[in-house]
A = this chain, B = another copy of it.
Amino acid sequence: MSFNTFGKLFRFTTWGESHGPAIGCVVDGCPPNINLSEKDIQIELNKRKPGQSKFVTQRKEKDQVEILSGVFEGKTTGAPISMIIFNEDTRSRDYETIKNKFRPGHADFTYFKKYGIRDYRGGGRQSARETASRVAAGAIAKTVLIKLLGKKFNITGGITQIGPLMINQAHWNDREIRKNHFFCPDKETVPVWEQYLLDIRKAGNSCGAIIELRARGVPVGLGAPIYSKLDQDIASGLMSINAVKGVNIGAGMNAASLTGDTNSDQIRTKNGKIQFQSNHAGGILGGISTGQEIVVSFAVKPTSSILKSRDTIDTKGKNTKISVHGRHDPCVGIRAVPIGEAMLACILLDHLMMHKAQCEN
């Protein structure tokens, strides 16, 4: 039961609004005696930071994290880790003109109806700025996972589709991902997307994206059969990210079109090592990890803040028009890659801890 907390044993609670003094995060349940510094967290935050290319919002935020508790002499103590990021580039005046209108596709309308009050500056609590806190929590989870599982463990996210344009999955190359502005694992797709996004922005419009996450080195046995299924928690975690509208595990929605003999991954032993002959399951069977690569993907809808004029109503219920100026990502999906990675890291650590609690005697 928690509106602003995620996780079961490794838990984080986030707080803060887009244009308030700061945002932050409290991580609870972190194992003790793990080396941790602000630098470990900053590296991940920098991947998500705005203003890094012309394809994302030009808001300038250093997103500099401070650890306020839970770390002593460079090591976690088992106490809650409180992190804070001060907001800097908050141009609230951008929002004065639209403070009484509901931006279509945004949560302006639903917040107002639910709470009867709304911090309209930059979307307030509904802003994707909150996701910086998740990335900070995820950085801690990654650090702990590498300590517990070893260097063979890693999580890699990449974008596989922008608007209607997909990569060639056969071209996926981890090393390409950090070389371009789109977390694109397929070198040949980069210029195609670049042109597409320039056109989209020029038209005062926006587009969606699909992100794929791959986790390697995850041991067999994480998850739980019924209501703490690993894939269930991944679906929950990814769907909690702003603007996400769909989540696939392995073959995902496409599993519907497959037949049983194609879809169910056959198993072989070779030199004492278990090998699945395919991975339609995305590394999860019955809610429990198989030891294969975990492969999941999620769709981010097009940015709702667009220049194009749109029909809407105001807070008094009168019909009006709106055109959203300000500094917005033409494709918010791009910056969702480190966020997805962070959520997956937190979920995997959570399940590793739950597994230890119940099954390691």
Contacts and interface: CB of A to CB of B under 8 A. Distances in A.
Contact of A302 (B260, B318, B359): B260
A269 B32 contact: no
A285 B110 contact: yes
B251 A255 contact: no
A95 interface: no
Interface in A66-120: 66, 68-70, 72, 75-82, 84, 102-107, 109-111, 113-119
A358 B117 contact: no
Given A3-B28, A9-B357, A29-B358, 19 more contacts: A1-B1, A3-B29, A4-B80, A5-B5, A13-B26, A20-B68, A32-B358, A33-B116, A72-B119, A72-B124, A207-B260, A208-B256, A208-B257, A232-B236, A245-B281, A246-B253, A260-B306, A269-B313, A356-B360
Interface SS majority for chain A: mixed
B80 A304 contact: no
Interface in A114-145: 114-119, 124-126, 130
A318 B271 CA distance: 10
Given A3-B226, A69-B17, A258-B208, A32 B78 contact: no
A73 to B, nearest CB: 8
B246 A205 contact: no
Given A69-B16, A267-B312, A299-B253, A359 B105 contact: no
A348 B81 CA distance: 26
A245 B248 contact: yes
A341 interface: no
Contacts of A289: 110
Nearest to A8: B1
Given A20-B69, A111-B288, A79 B225 contact: yes
A311 B9 CA distance: 37
A318 to B, nearest CB: 7
Contacts of A130: 226
A210 B8 contact: no
28 contacts: A1-B9, A2-B11, A3-B226, A3-B227, A3-B228, A9-B358, A15-B70, A21-B68, A24-B68, A79-B225, A107-B287, A107-B288, A111-B225, A114-B220, A126-B286, A148-B361, A200-B259, A206-B260, A239-B249, A240-B287, A245-B281, A246-B246, A246-B247, A246-B249, A247-B247, A252-B299, A256-B299, A269-B317
Interface in A294-336: 299-306, 308, 310-313, 317-319, 333
A342 interface: no
Contacts of A247: 235, 239, 246-247
Pairs A-B, 7 closest by C-beta atoms: A107-B286, A105-B264, A206-B260, A1-B1, A110-B288, A246-B253, A236-B236
A277 interface: yes
